[in-house]
Amino acid sequence: MNDNLKLLAHKTVDAVARKIKRAKTTEFYKFGSNTGIGADGTVTKYVDKIAEDAAFDFLKKSKLKVNLLSEEIGFVDNGADYTFVLDPIDGTRNAYRGIPFFAVSVAIGKSKIGDVEYGIVKNIPTGDVFSAEKGFGAFFNKNKIGVPDVPDTELCSSLALGKNFDKLTISLARKEKVRSLGSASLEMCMVALGALDFYVVGKEYLRVVDIAASTLILREAGGIVTNILGEELDMPFNLDERTSVVAACNEDLIKKIIS
């Protein structure tokens, strides 16, 4: 992976984080207001719009051109070899409610999750950064990380509950120590870090922008990412397709979950 591409991705992430932190001091009351409908068909909140604008404006000024796929603006074709898959705010509700667990996420690839070569997820409130390069491992604040060989005897998970629950997640909620944290990219990174043993979204709900970077990070940390059927997860770079996710530290735990 070209070092300049990686640097551009990090600078883009930092531009978004700076914008959100500055806006929070004077415009937090506007964060949850509706500003329209995004390219993915969902309501765009003010915090989503200013985050995406910060990334788009920064990339427009760069001499290094990349294509962009983002949840509000959709796909921007700049005729480049690589595409930045951007989620400007993953955990929008957390952001406008004041819950300090939301992220900006960027993956660099060509056409699908399977060919993503680099990924970054930054927890905006804390400044913590997860990153990975394909074939070179995963990192947390520049320190290499890996999933535990054996999960904790008392499993701790994060599950998609509320309106996105299904029979599997409800059954898991009755068995394990459970969290529901509201930011898919960060929750998958928590599995990569070993803070969580697994993460499950039982319904076909997540888009490629939500998980492209964190899927690479978790896999480079030694973890496994599948859909609810146990099939290796892959998605094209578009906003139409949605998926379930089962992310865990090893294959045995994946089999236990889906069975």
- Which pLDDT score, from 0 to 100, does residue 166 have? 73
Q: What pLDDT is attached to residue 164?
A: 64
For the domain bounded by 156-258, which CATH number is listed? 3.40.190.80
Q: Name the CATH code of domain 3-145 (choices 3.30.300.30, 3.40.50.40, 3.40.50.720, 3.30.540.10).
A: 3.30.540.10
Give the per-residue pLDDT at 97.
Answer: 96
Name the pLDDT band for 169 (thresholds 50, 70, 90). Answer: confident
Contact between 138 and 192 under an 8 Å Cβ cutoff? The reply is yes
Residue 1 has pLDDT above 80, yes or no: no
Residue 135 has pLDDT above 90, yes or no: yes
pLDDT at position 40? 75
pLDDT computed for residue 32 by the predictor: 94
pLDDT in tens, 136-157: 999 999 999 999 887 777 889 9
- Hey, where are the domains in the chain? 3-145, 156-258
Indicate if 156-258 has the same CATH topology as 3-145: no
Contact predicate 219/209, CB 8 Å: no
Q: How far apart are CA 21 and CA 39, in angstroms?
A: 25
CA–CA distance, 24 with 60 (Å, rounded to integer) = 24
pLDDT tens for each residue of 47-59: 999 999 999 999 9
Question: According to the model, what pLDDT value does residue 41 have?
Answer: 75
- As a whole number, mean pLDDT of residues 168-188 equals 86
Task: Quote the crossing angle between the two packed helices 208-220 and 184-193, to the nearest 10°.
Answer: 10
pLDDT score, position 172: 79
Tens digit of each residue's pLDDT (9 = 90 or more) over 203-246:
898 999 999 999 999 999 999 999 999 999 999 999 999 999 99
pLDDT band at 167, cuts 50/70/90?
confident
Q: Count Cβ atoms below 10 Å from residue 40 Cβ, excluding itself.
A: 18
Of 140 and 165, which is predicted with more confidence? 140
Q: Give residue-wise pLDDT tens across range 73-123.
A: 999 999 999 999 999 999 999 999 999 999 999 999 999 999 999 999 999
Instruction: Specify the pTM.
Output: 0.94
* Strand partners of residue 109: 83
Whether the pLDDT of residue 171 is over 80: the answer is: no
